[in-house]
Chain A
Amino acid sequence: IAGITQAPTSQILAAGRRMTLRCTQDMRHNAMYWYRQDLGLGLRLIHYSNTAGTTGKGEVPDGYSVSRANTDDFPLTLASAVPSQTSVYFCASSDSGVKQFFGPGTRLTVL
């Protein structure tokens, strides 16, 4: 592994189902982030974590939860998916809290 990996690459999900998007980094970065990207809206921060064991809410946290049990993993969970959560989701990490490295993204469709 080099950098950030995200899984799955894409997913089609029925509304109401629970879904966890996975993110793993091998750079030992302290900070990690989840963004959603929607056309015309840019990237919006969902949740973030500045160090293992701590998390914070971003601009659009409703309907999403995260955990940070260790430095490398930062999963994003949709407890009960809704169509408005159809988006491309990007995970990112940062060493000094300045330069961010992004993963390849997960394309999620909620029907």
Chain B
Amino acid sequence: QQQVKQSPQSLIVQKGGISIINCAYENTAFDYFPWYQQFPGKGPALLIAIRPDVSEKKEGRFTISFNKSAKQFSLHIMDSQPGDSATYFCAARRRRGNQFYFGTGTSLTVIP
């Protein structure tokens, strides 16, 4: 059973547009929600993360929106660039045991 559900599976956005990736979870024991970016042939790299006590976090062109009551969070990439083309994973950490659960990934393509 997938603990963190991610959509869409793939996304094509025009350069300059907004990319939006959504994730949902059920386990209320999760206490930390990171997003990772992965380029082909590389390991994932932490992009941005949020804790459930805030509703939004912004770092440059990347913003996480968090809805605790709905158990949903999303990544927004503003002014998307071809260099943002990568696979993005959301994740959630269960504090007890310090275990991370990942979504199934979204392949983002930004076309010039």
Query: Which A residues have a C-beta under 8 Å from some C-beta of B?
Result: 4, 31, 33, 35, 40-45, 48, 50, 56, 58-59, 90, 92, 94, 97-105
Contacts and interface: CB of A to CB of B under 8 A. Distances in A.
B100 A33 contact: yes
Interface of B: 6, 9, 32, 34, 36, 41-46, 49, 89, 91, 93, 97-105
22 contacts: A35-B102, A40-B9, A42-B102, A42-B103, A43-B44, A43-B91, A44-B102, A45-B100, A48-B97, A48-B99, A50-B97, A56-B99, A90-B43, A97-B93, A97-B98, A98-B32, A98-B34, A101-B46, A102-B43, A102-B45, A105-B41, A105-B43
B93 to A, nearest CB: 7
Q: Is the interface of B mostly helix, strand, loop or mixed?
A: strand
A29 to B, nearest CB: 12
Given A43-B89, A90-B43, A102-B45, 13 more contacts: A33-B100, A40-B9, A43-B102, A45-B99, A45-B101, A50-B97, A90-B44, A98-B32, A99-B34, A102-B36, A102-B44, A104-B43, A105-B41
Contacts, number: 57
Contact of B42 (A4, A50, A98, A104): A104
A101 to B, nearest CB: 8
B100 A42 contact: no
B99 to A, nearest CB: 6
Given A41-B104, A42-B104, A42-B105, A50 B43 contact: no
